[in-house]
Amino acid sequence: MKNVNAVTTTLPALAAVRPTFASVAESELDAVHRYLLFLTGNRAVAEDLTGETFEKAFRSWRRFDPRRGTPRAWLCRIARHVALDHFRSEERRQRREERYAVGVAEVEEPAWGEGALGLGLPELSPAEREVVALRVLLDLDGPTAARLLGISQTACSTRLSRALKRLEEMMSNARV
């Protein structure tokens, strides 16, 4: 019988591959916040949702598997679910308030800044803003962004292309 050398994987070697939650949180905090800011269009809401995202991520950190994707993609998936939950609860809250409200108008600070780009982003649909945030702002690759959105890579690319074309048209019209 031949000698067979078996390679064993030890826990310290596995730990070297897996980053710590603190290092991931520190490196991805700004990216997740920018993503949520794009989704919500409101700085205060984005800050609240960012905190909720990292709280959920911390509680489920032991289930994160670096072989299945990057920490940024994992956090964006959590952030997307947190934002969707927020939008649903906001919709319910607004329906309740409309029944009882006296019609007080609120003034919000623009989330995307001044100028043509700041004026163009709110004109995009939420789906278009989201794909722009994932692909352009967060620099995720096409397959990862498509998985996060739950659509095909082709649909993701098409949505991004259309959104960028609309933005370009709006910005050129704003210059005229």
8/23 Cα distance (integer angstroms): 27
pLDDT in tens, the chain (176 residues): 555 554 444 444 444 468 899 999 999 999 999 999 988 888 999 999 999 999 999 999 999 988 888 999 999 999 999 999 999 888 887 776 676 655 555 555 555 455 545 556 777 888 888 888 888 888 889 999 999 888 889 989 988 998 888 888 887 776 65
Give the global pTM: 0.57
Instruction: Please classify residue 75 by burial: count the beta carbons closer than 10 Å to its beta carbon, then call 0-12 exposed, 13-18 middle and 19+ buried.
Output: buried
Element (H, E) at 76: helix 71-100
151/139 Cα distance (integer angstroms): 18
Which tens digit of pLDDT belongs to each residue from 3-32?
A: 555 444 444 444 446 889 999 999 999 999
- Residue whose entry in the numeric block shows the structure tokens 């007080």: 104
Domains of the chain by start residue, with CATH: 18-111 (1.10.1740.10), 112-176 (1.10.10.10)
Nearest to 125 by CA among 38, 33, 37: 38
CB 136 within 8 A of CB 154: no
